[in-house]
Structure 1
Amino acid sequence: MKKEEPLPGRRALLRGAAGLSLVPLATTAGCFSSQGSAPPAAGPAAGAPALSRPQKPSAYRLRPLTGYGPARGLPAAAPVRSKPILRLASRDRTMVLTFDDGPDPRYTPGILRTLRQYDVRAMFFVCGEMAAASPDLLREMIDDGHVIGNHTWTHPQLLRLGRAAVRSEIESTSEVVRRTVGEAPLWFRAPYGAWNRAAFEIGAGAGMEPLAWTTDSLDWTEPGTRKIVDNVLRGAGSGVVVLNHDAGGNRSQSVDALRIYLPRLLDDGYRFGLPRRRSV
């Protein structure tokens, strides 16, 4: 797939959310593997209720982002971890929403609209081949204040690849993000949650911290909108990182579920932030 050529003057990738400070708290014991995307389902999910309690756009989102200009290279190397971050230290019931496998023009725009409606920031762990095919969606993410992470180029099982192939998957994705939005990702997530030494070392060498998740919405199984909502609400808590998907299958249920659980969590007093990479 042909990579998108760089466009000068695009807004640079945000490194965190204004007014929120989340730092790594807990990591998993050793490498782990969990399920990933499932094949597309036969049809869309049942419709969700209309959005409630919309918020006015924040001044943060309305003012232009600073720091953009000529594209910069990869960030400085990050510390090499042996375990991915699973949870983040937070105050005031702050959580992190993440979306994997996109961007997909069929589903990502609906997720972005809902996040914009409620003035919430999230993290999008993109696959390079999807990012190259939909560069405008990456720019929209950045314009709305979201953070883009690296989820490899083709979403392979990294444990089955040699080191050179792992490096190509990771570094080519960082490069297409950098050329599209002006700065390379600072966060990496291994497909299927399958980590190994090469993933940690190569990710760190490309300037990224490894972020996993605390709560799996299980939307990749396409269990129905209501089940996804229940999974997220049941797993809510301070510092929780929620795994969702905006590609990799029929994600109509994921789009509908976000419309339901996001206002409920806000009504319950939860806030949503972005992680800040520790000083290196």
Structure 2
Amino acid sequence: MKFFLVFTVTVMMMFAAACTADNTGVEPNDSNESANVSDEQAGSKTTETDKEKENEEEPGRPEKEEAITDEELRYTVRESDWTVQPVEEGKENQNVLITIDDAPDTYSLQMAHTLKEKGVPAIFFVNGHFLQDEEGKNHLKEIYDMGFAIGNHTMNHVSLNNVSAEETRQEIEQLNDLVENITGEKPVFFRAPFGINTDESKAVLEENEMIWMNWTYGYDWEEEYMEADALTNIMVNTDLLVHGANLLMHDREWTKEALPHIIDGFKEKGYGFIHPDQIDIN
């Protein structure tokens, strides 16, 4: 009888232990495994959401583009066609240079914001007569602070072949000083009004260690291209488009409207954009 009771108690204890092991060993492990997967998935979603928020919270942040500029390349201006070509021969150069003349007249600041949002560098060539009031000075400073190069387009947009050597010097050097007072930096690049340079202007540029450039092509001053769609089409699809093209545009309403589409058109063709800081004096 004692043996039967002992045996019965032993069996009952073994059965209880087995049940306890089932409840604490299997189900919690399954639950933990599910919890771990959920945490990883949640963490992944949180990371993606955080990245999206970062992009939304930085309105001036450039779009992500593949190889908008090749920061390793150095360039020089080739005077035969005014393209911007790599110093080292044999380097791939499916890139163009964006330049905006007559800044900061009316639309330059808006154009600068468009370029900034799209992550595209440019040179803004300025005239001194647009810098005679606080609004013009503030617009120039804002363009400069966004990281754009400021070029010299003379004080008064005069044709240099119609002025004396002394007046030529004043047109260039007075504007250099004015831009430096506003931005803290003298212009490196010079573009003569109407593309007309003289021996006197070249001498002043050499003394001031400035880079002289004209342009490869531009159209926005021609009547048939004073409309955004027509200007976009000709700028992107002209037969004059070559690697390293130095693109001339102006502070004009139709150019402002065309600018984002021009940029998109070049990107679709696989073109990148040359940063002015990469251009060396010849």
- 1:24 Cα deviation from its structure 2 partner: 1.6
Q: Cα RMSD over matched residues?
A: 2.0
- 1:113 Cα deviation from its structure 2 partner: 1.9
Structure 2: 5+ residue stretches without partners? 1-68, 87-91
> Is this contact kept in 1: 2:76–2:281, CA < 8 A?
no
> Is this contact kept in 2: 1:22–1:88, CA < 8 A?
no
> Is this contact kept in 1: 2:103–2:127, CA < 8 A?
yes
Cα 1:163–1:267 shift into 2, 3 Å: same
Give, in whole Å, the separation in 1 of the partners of 2:199 and 2:213: 15
Residue correspondences, number? 202
- 1:279 Cα deviation from its structure 2 partner: 6.0
Alignment of 1:106-255 (within 5 A): 106-133=106-133, 134-216=136-218, 218-222=219-223, 223=225, 224-233=227-236, 234=238, 235-246=240-251, 251-255=252-256
> Is this contact kept in 1: 2:95–2:243, CA < 8 A?
yes
Amino acid at match of 2:235: V
Post-superposition CA distance 1:226-269 (Å, at most 9, x none): 221122112433211000001xxxx1111011121111211221
Amino acid at match of 1:255: K
Cα 1:135–1:213 shift into 2, 3 Å: same
- 1:94 Cα deviation from its structure 2 partner: 1.2
- 1:18 Cα deviation from its structure 2 partner: 8.3
Structure having the higher Rg? 2
> Is this contact kept in 2: 1:167–1:202, CA < 8 A?
yes
Q: Does 1:264 align with 2:260?
A: no
Structure 1: 5+ residue stretches without partners? 1-16, 29-84
Post-superposition CA distance 1:119-160 (Å, at most 9, x none): 111001101121343112222222222110100000001001
Higher helix share: 2
Q: TM-score, normalised by structure 2?
A: 0.67
Cα 1:22–1:232 shift into 2, 3 Å: farther
Give, in whole Å, the separation in 2 of the partners of 1:115 and 1:163: 37
Q: 2:154 aligns to what SS in structure 1?
A: coil
**Amino-acid identity (%):** 27
Aligned to 2:89: none
> Is this contact kept in 2: 1:100–1:243, CA < 8 A?
yes
> Is this contact kept in 2: 1:124–1:147, CA < 8 A?
yes
Amino acid at match of 1:149: G
Give, in whole Å, the separation in 2 of the partners of 1:18 and 1:230: 26
Post-superposition CA distance 1:141-191 (Å, at most 9, x none): 222221101000000010010001111110111001111111101111110
Q: TM-score, normalised by structure 1?
A: 0.67
Higher relative contact order (CA 8 A, sep 6+): 1
